[in-house]
């Protein structure tokens, strides 16, 4: 495992990449309503990234043995947990959609996902959104120098479990920097007080994926789309952060309006 600590100069670049990701989310929130297609969201984000001189690290992303990812963002609706491919699907009132956005700018990556309600959603759907977002904040509270990786996973899993929700096993959080996925891999479940110690200069994308029911998932034939096996809802929240010398992490993909 090779964890790459970032210098101040590198952090400055990651701030800019993260800021562009946050701008893209603001654009998405501005147009997200019943009737829009997920492909329209993809085009909107792709154009903004391009205009600002960036690229999407998702587009063409191809881990060994996988078909290249065909879009700039992921749009994961309802029972789709992650890696939903934008297309002609029209978002309906009552849907929930995770919009996952990555940007490479000046050689550094920002990565952030947020799950949004489309119009008015059922109480059980908004409850899931609320708790899944809280899972992210619970993990970020643990993301301080000298804490351990297991503290993050335990915080996510503990909070989800208290509300009767599941946490994915197959996918987790990750280091991020020059590449979208750097060491370490960070499970979204685990045991507090175990695992690697966090150090200032570590940059990570923390992304709990929370299911309303069973945490088991399946991959669709397109080779990307991950769905819950029981067909129940799922939500996903992600920020790119930097571990600071003392206290709270710096959120590099901090929300902007």
Interface with ligand MF3 (CB under 6 A): 58, 61, 69, 74, 83, 100, 102, 111, 113, 174, 205, 207, 238
Residue 177 contact among Co ion, ligand MF3, none, beta carbon within 5 to 8 Å by kind: none
Per CB under 5 A, 205 contacts Co ion: yes
Q: How far apart are CA 86 and CA 72, in angstroms?
A: 9
> Which residue in 10, 23, 79, 111 binds Co ion (CB under 5 A)?
111
Count Cα neighbours of 124 within 13 Å in the Cβ-side half-sphere.
9
Q: How far is the CB of 219 from ligand MF3 (least distance, A)?
A: 12
Q: Which 3 state secondary structure label does DSSP give 206?
A: strand
Q: Which of 56, 126, 98 is nearest to 225 (CA)?
A: 98
Q: Which residue has the tokens 């990701």?
A: 21
Give the Cα separation of 146 and 33 in Å (integer): 43
Q: Which is nearer to ligand MF3, 191 or 228 (CB)?
A: 228
Q: With binding defined as CB under 5 A, does residue 182 bind Co ion?
A: no
Give the contacts of 101 (CB within 8 A, at least 6 positions apart): 21, 24, 25, 28, 45, 73, 111, 112, 113
Evaluate whether 84 touches 57 at the Cβ level (below 8 Å).
no
CB of 37 to ligand MF3, least distance (A): 18
Contacted entry of Co ion, ligand MF3, none for residue 69, CB cut-off 5 to 8 Å set by kind: ligand MF3
The helix/strand/coil state of 217 is strand
Partners of 166 in the beta sheet? 211
Please, what is the minimum distance in Å from the beta carbon of residue 93 to ligand MF3?
26
* Cβ-based nearer residue to ligand MF3, 6 or 83: 83
Residue 131 as a binder of Co ion (CB under 5 A): the answer is: no
User: Which residue reads 């590099």 in tokens?
Assistant: 252
Helix (H) or strand (E) holding 100: strand 96-105
Joined together, the tokens standing for residue 159 give: 């909070």
* Among the residue ranges 29-37, 75-83, 157-165, 202-210, the one whose residues contact Co ion (CB under 5 A): 202-210
Q: Single out the residue of 194, 121, 184 nearest to residue 157, CA to CA.
A: 194
Q: How far is the CB of 29 from Co ion (least distance, A)?
A: 19
Residue 104 beta carbon to Co ion: minimum distance, rounded to whole angstroms: 13
Determine the interface stretch with Co ion among 12-20, 58-66, 131-139, 199-207 (rule: CB under 5 A).
199-207
Q: Shortest distance, CB of residue 61 to Co ion, whole angstroms?
A: 11
| Nearest distance, CB of residue 171 and ligand MF3, angstroms | 7
Question: Judged by CB, which is closer to ligand MF3: 70, or 213?
Answer: 70
Q: Which is nearer to ligand MF3, 15 or 239 (CB)?
A: 239
Report CA torsion sign: 6, 11, 16, 22.
positive
CB nearer to ligand MF3: pick between 3 and 127? 3
Which residues lie near Co ion (CB under 5 A)?
111, 205, 207
């Amino acid at each position: 495992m090779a964890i790459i600590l970032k210098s101040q100069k590198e952090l400055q670049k990651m701030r800019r990449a993260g800021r562009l990701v946050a701008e893209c989310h603001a654009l998405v929130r501005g147009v997200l309503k019943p009737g829009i297609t997920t492909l329209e969201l993809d085009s909107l984000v792709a154009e903004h990234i391009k205009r600002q001189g960036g690229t999407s690290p998702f587009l063409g992303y191809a881990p060994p043995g996988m078909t290249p990812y065909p879009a700039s963002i992921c749009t994961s609706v309802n029972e789709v947990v992650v890696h939903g491919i934008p297309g002609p699907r029209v978002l309906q009132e009552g849907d929930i959609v995770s919009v996952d956005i990555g940007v490479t700018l000046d050689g550094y990556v920002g990565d952030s996902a947020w799950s949004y309600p489309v119009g008015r959603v059922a109480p059980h759907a908004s409850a899931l959104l609320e708790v899944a977002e809280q899972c992210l904040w619970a993990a970020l509270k643990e993301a301080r120098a000298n804490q351990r990786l297991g503290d993050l996973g335990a915080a996510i899993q503990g909070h989800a479990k208290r509300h009767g929700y599941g946490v994915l096993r197959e996918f987790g959080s990750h280091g991020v920097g020059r590449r979208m996925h750097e060491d370490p891999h960070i499970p979204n479940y685990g045991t507090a007080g175990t695992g690697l110690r966090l150090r200032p200069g570590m940059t990570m994308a923390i992304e709990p994926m929370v299911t309303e029911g069973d945490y088991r998932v399946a991959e669709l034939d397109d080779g990307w789309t991950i769905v819950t096996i029981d067909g129940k809802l799922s939500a996903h929240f992600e920020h790119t952060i930097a571990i600071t010398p003392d206290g709270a992490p710096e959120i590099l993909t901090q929300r902007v309006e």
